């Protein structure tokens, strides 16, 4: 009898080993599917008022677009289209968009409009009209004396790092799609202004904001710079650099400069990467200082920018190792599997700004006062993008 059970046991053991194990989807797809499960209909206005027309919605839709391009699965495109259709009127108007705000945050979702207007479908004309409306905002956007966009009309005389991601990838793609070569000159100018006014010559890190009037309480009276280096601010900038290069003509003189900016930034990011976790700090140059912490969204953005820069030949291949270490740190420090099998991303700071009411003074203490959020779009979107890049690298 014992021999019978032994043979039976061996049979089931070998049978189990012979069964093919279900292959898990890539991390980018797992997180995208998790996101769709959180918001199963779309990011429509009623389902998630926090994701109104603005940069967070645009960030997530661009991340889902990357997964659609990678997998070819139409469910992602259908989700993107459904979400956009909640906001676009029959005349190409955009719900809850106010042109007179001249807010760069409202431009980012226009990248999805440019994608959709180039695909077959009944609303191509409306998508095009809405994209033209956003570009019209940029035509009238208030500027510094040297031509840099104010971040918002109410943030007078100020350039923020965030604004480069909000406006310039859209502007560069628009210039390509509509064959407007002078648009690339303006994109190059925006980056040149950041490099001129926001780069710290000692560390190579970039300050969060610049006030040409030097009137803001947070502004250095000599340089106009804000006082600290915010991780996600630099993350927005790094992503903007690698994304605008997707559209810049090879013979445009600004292209070489943009690549040079990225090549200048890469060793700085490598230097300030936390050697223990592989992630990056909320206040970038204050590793280990009381209250500081490694932060998810900045880490994902840097991994995305570095790995994409390597893939496209802008950066030396040695930075792939920096990206790999960063990505492993993200998986270990921030990603968790929920009981229902979905993924979650922890450790994203909810917001970071300057001025306003209540007043944000750009101090070390301010950046640490903003709460951390789970599954914040500003972390989830870049995580998906970083994952796509890491999967392509394999």
- Residues known to be catalytic: 162
- Is residue 382 within 8 A of residue 305, CB to CB? The reply is no
| CA–CA separation, 192 and 209 (whole Å) | 14
Tell me which residue of 112, 257, 99, 114 sits closest to 180, measured CA to CA.
114
Structural contact between residues 137 and 212, judged by C-beta atoms closer than 8 angstroms: no
Cβ neighbours, 10 Å, residue 271: 13
| DSSP code for 23 | P
Residues 317 and 309 sit within 8 Å (Cβ to Cβ): no
**What φ, ψ does residue 210 adopt, rounded to 5°?**
-135, 130
DSSP-based three-state secondary structure for 149: strand
Q: What is the DSSP string of 214-263?
A: --STTS-TTT-B-SS-BHHHHHHHHHHHHHHTTTS-TT-HHHHHHHHHHH
Q: Are 374 and 344 in contact (CB under 8 A)?
A: yes
- Asked if 111 and 170 count as a contact pair (C-beta separation under 8 A), the reply is yes
User: CA–CA separation, 80 vs 62, rounded Å?
Assistant: 9
What's the rounded Cα separation, in Å, for the pair 231 and 233?
5
Work out the end-to-end distance of the chain between its first and last CA atoms, rounded to an integer number of angstroms: 51
Q: CA angle 259-263-264, nearest 5°?
A: 115
Helix runs in 2-96, H state only? 2-18, 27-38, 55-71, 74-85
Distances (CA, A) of 195 to 188, 206, 241: 11, 8, 12
The strand pairing partners of 88, in sequence order, are: 94
**Axis crossing angle, helix 55-71 with helix 74-85, rounded to the nearest 10:** 160
């Amino acid at each position: 009898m014992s021999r019978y059970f032994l043979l039976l046991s061996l049979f089931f053991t070998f049978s189990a080993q012979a069964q093919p194990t279900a292959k898990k989807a890539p991390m980018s797809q797992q997180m995208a599917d998790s996101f769709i499960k959180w918001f199963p209909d779309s990011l429509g206005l009623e389902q998630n008022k926090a994701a109104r027309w603005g940069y967070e919605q645009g960030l997530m839709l661009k991340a889902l677009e990357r997964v659609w391009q990678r997998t070819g699965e139409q469910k992602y495109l259908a989700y993107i289209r459904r979400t956009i259709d909640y906001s676009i009127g029959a005349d190409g108007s955009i719900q809850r968009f106010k042109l007179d705000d001249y807010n760069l945050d409202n431009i980012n979702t226009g990248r999805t409009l440019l994608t959709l207007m180039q695909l077959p479908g009944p609303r191509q004309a409306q998508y095009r009209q809405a994209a033209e409306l956003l570009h019209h905002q940029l035509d009238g956007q208030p500027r510094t004396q040297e031509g840099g966009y104010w971040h918002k009309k109410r943030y007078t005389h100020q350039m923020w790092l965030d604004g480069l991601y909000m406006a310039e990838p859209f502007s560069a793609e628009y210039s390509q799609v509509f064959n407007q070569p002078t648009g690339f000159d303006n994109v190059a100018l925006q980056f040149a202004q950041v490099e001129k006014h926001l780069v710290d010559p000692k560390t190579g890190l970039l300050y969060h904001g610049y006030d040409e009037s030097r009137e803001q309480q947070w502004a250095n009276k000599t340089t106009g710079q804000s006082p600290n280096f915010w991780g996600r601010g630099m993350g927005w900038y790094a992503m903007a650099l690698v994304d605008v290069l997707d559209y810049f003509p090879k013979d445009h003189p600004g292209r070489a400069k943009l690549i040079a900016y990225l090549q200048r930034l890469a060793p700085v990011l490598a230097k300030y990467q936390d050697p223990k976790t592989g992630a990056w700090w909320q206040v970038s140059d204050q590793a280990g200082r009381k209250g500081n912490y490694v932060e998810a969204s900045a880490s994902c953005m840097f991994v995305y920018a570095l790995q994409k820069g390597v893939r496209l030949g802008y950066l030396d291949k040695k930075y792939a190792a920096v990206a790999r270490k960063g990505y492993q740190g993200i998986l270990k420090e921030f990603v968790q599997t929920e009981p229902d099998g979905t993924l979650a991303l922890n450790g994203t700071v909810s917001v970071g700004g300057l001025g306003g009411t209540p007043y944000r003074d750009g101090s070390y203490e301010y950046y640490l006062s903003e709460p951390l959020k789970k599954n914040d779009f500003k972390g989830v979107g870049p995580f998906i993008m970083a994952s796509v890049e890491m999967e392509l690298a394999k």
